[in-house]
Amino acid sequence: MSDLLSRRLALLEGAQARELLRHCRHGLEKESLRVDAQGHLALTAHPPALGSTLTHAQITTDYSEALLEFITDAHEDPQQTLDELDAIHRFACAQLGEEQLWMHSMPCTLPEEAEIPIAEYGTSHSGRLKHVYRQGLAVRYGKAMQCIAGIHYNFSLPEGLWPLLQADSADTRPAADWQSAGYIALTRNFRRYSWLLMYLFGASPALDAGFLKDREHDLERLDADTFYLPWATSLRMSDLGYQNNAQASLKPCYNSLDSYLASLRRAVSTPYPPYQALGTHDAEGQWRQLNTNVLQIENEYYSSIRPKRVTRPGERPIQALAARGVQYVEVRCLDIDPFLPLGIDVVAARFLDAFLLFCALEDSPALDGAECSECTTNFALTVKAGRKPGLQLSRAGQPVTLTDWGLELLARIEACATALDAAHGTSDLHRQALASQRAKLEDVRLTPSARVLQSLREEQLSFHAFALRQSERHAEWFRSRPLGAAEQAAFEQAARDSLAAQAALEAAQEGSFDEYVARYMAAITPA
C-alpha cells in the first residue's frame, strides 16, 4: 500500500469521515437485444407499450432498434440499484409477447446487414439526430457491431469526500477543479488496472460464427456454428470489428480534464479522408452520417471508462464537463454475465465499489506515452488470453504474471473494502465480495469466461444454443415474478407520459433539421 493510500484511508477512520463512504452512488445501464423464440434478432419496431425511446427515463434503445437499454437512477445502496433494474426487466419482459431478451453480450443470430434495423426516435430534430448518428455508426463500423451489448456501471464518490481530500493535500485550486482532477486520477488508475476486471468479469470468450461473416479474424472454430479463443475472457472488448478505422489512432489524454476534452474536441472537428469520401448524404440527398470527422460526436469514442457530468437540455457532454467538471465515472467494460438474470449481481457491484475507491485514493501519476501503450497492451492481452496459464503482463516495463499481479492488487484493494464495510457498519460484505474475486484468481475455472466454455464443451452446445437456453431461463424468472399492481401502473403511466412528451416535441418543432445539425456541430470547436 502506498503512503498516499494509507494516509487517505486514515482520514476516513474518524466516525464523521467514515460515514461519508455510505454515500457513494451507483447507477446501471444494461443493454439486451430483443430476439424471437428461435433466438433470431427481432425485426419488429420498439414495442409502444415500453414507451418512447427518445423521452423515457428508464427504457430506451442503443444503436439498433432491437437493442433495448434499461437505465436506473443512481442510488446509494447498490442493492437498490439492482432492485430497480430487476423491476424494469419484469415490466419489459411482460410486454414483449413471444419475444424475449438475449442475455449475452455477443449477438444472437443476425440477418444480413441491410436487414438489421437502426434505432428510430421519431421525427423531432433531436430524435432524427440520434438516428442519423446511428446511421453513421453503421457506415463506419457495420451494423453487426451495433448489436453487441454490455453493462455500464455509473459510480460517484460522496460530494463531501472531495473537500476532505483537498484539505489534506493543501491544494488551493477551486473545489470543482480539484474534484475533476480527482476523477481524472481515478480514470488513469482504471486504465492501469482494468485488465483485472476483464479477467474477473469477462464473459464472452465465444460467439456465433455468423457474426464474423466475411471478416478477417484470428479466432478458432469450436464447432460448426461457434468461434472462440481458448483463453479469452471478453471478445466483446477485443479489437473485433474495429481494425483499420479512425479510432485506431485516437488516444485521449487522461492527465487533466482540459487535455482530455481537447483531444475529444480535435476528434469531433478533424476530417477523416475515408469518411469524407462517403460524404454526409447519399445520392438521393438522405443523411448518411452527421459529419465526416474522426468522430461524429464525442460519444462515438469506444472507451472502457468515461468521466461524466449530467447534461442539461440541448447540452453536449463536452460542454457539460467543461462548464461544471466531472460528476461521476461510467465504467463501460463489463460483459453481461449469462449465468445471472440481470447480467450482474450485488457481489460484483460491491467489488467494483472497492476497486473504484482504490483507483480514486491510490497515487495516480501522469501517464506518459510508454505507460499508455503498456496499459493498452495489458488490457488487450487479458481480453484475448487472460486465462492462459502463466500469462505475463508488463508492469513498469518488467514482466509479471497476471495471477501474481492480480493477487497483489486485491491485497491493496482490501483496505478499501474494509473502509467500505466500516462505513456501512453491519457486516463484511465488501470483503466477502473481494474474497470471491480472489477465488477466481486462485482457480481460473470460477471465472465467467471459463464457465461459459465449460458449458459449451461439456454439454456440447453451440454458442447460440447456450445463450438461447440462458435467455429462456432468465425470461421465465422475470415472468414468474410479475410486478405488483401499483408498480405495474407506474411503469404503464411512465410509458404513456414518454409518448406524450415525444409527441409534444414533434408538434413544437421549428426550423429545418439541417440547421439543427449545423448548430449542434458548431457548439464544439477545437480548443
Rounded to the nearest angstrom, the gap between the alpha carbon of residue 86 and the centroid of all alpha carbons in its chain is 18
**What are the residue ranges of helices labelled H in 101-142?**
125-141
Asked if 358 and 416 touch (Cβ cutoff 8 Å), the reply is: yes
Q: Which three cell numbers stand for residue 449?
A: 469466461
Render pLDDT for 270-308 as a digit per residue (tens, 0 to 9).
999 999 999 999 999 999 999 999 999 999 998 999 999
pTM for the model stands at: 0.97
Render pLDDT for 328-364 as a digit per residue (tens, 0 to 9).
999 999 999 999 999 999 999 999 999 999 999 999 9
pLDDT level of residue 242 (50, 70, 90 thresholds): low
Architecture label for domain 3-522: 2-Layer Sandwich (3.30)
Render pLDDT for 18-50 as a digit per residue (tens, 0 to 9).
889 999 999 999 999 999 999 999 999 999 999
Pairwise CA distance, residues 431 & 453, whole Å: 28
Pairwise CA distance, residues 491 & 50, whole Å: 8
Answer whether residue 251 shows pLDDT above 90.
no
Residue ranges of domains in the chain: 3-522
**Which residue(s) pair with 421 in the sheet?**
none
pLDDT at position 311 is 93
Pairwise CA distance, residues 62 & 64, whole Å: 6
pLDDT at position 526 is 53
Sequence-ordered list of residues with C-beta below 8 angstroms from that of 474, at least 6 positions apart, any chain:
101, 103, 341
Q: Which three cell numbers stand for residue 478?
A: 422475470
Q: Which three cell numbers stand for residue 412?
A: 491493496
Measured at the CA of 40, the angle between CA 345 and CA 469, to 5 degrees, comes to 45
Asked if 12 and 22 touch (Cβ cutoff 8 Å), the reply is: no
DSSP assignment letter at 328: E
pLDDT at position 252 is 79
Rounded to the nearest angstrom, the gap between the alpha carbon of residue 164 and the centroid of all alpha carbons in its chain is 30
pLDDT at position 513 is 96
Q: Which three cell numbers stand for residue 256?
A: 487533466
Cα-Cα-Cα-Cα dihedral sign, residues 402, 408, 410, 416:
negative
Read off the pLDDT of each residue in 448-474 and give the average, rounded to a whole number: 98
Read off the pLDDT of each residue in 381-404 and give the average, rounded to a whole number: 98
Sequence-ordered list of residues with C-beta below 8 angstroms from that of 320, at least 6 positions apart, any chain:
309, 310, 311, 312
pLDDT at position 241 is 52
Render pLDDT for 404-425 as a digit per residue (tens, 0 to 9).
999 999 999 999 999 999 999 8
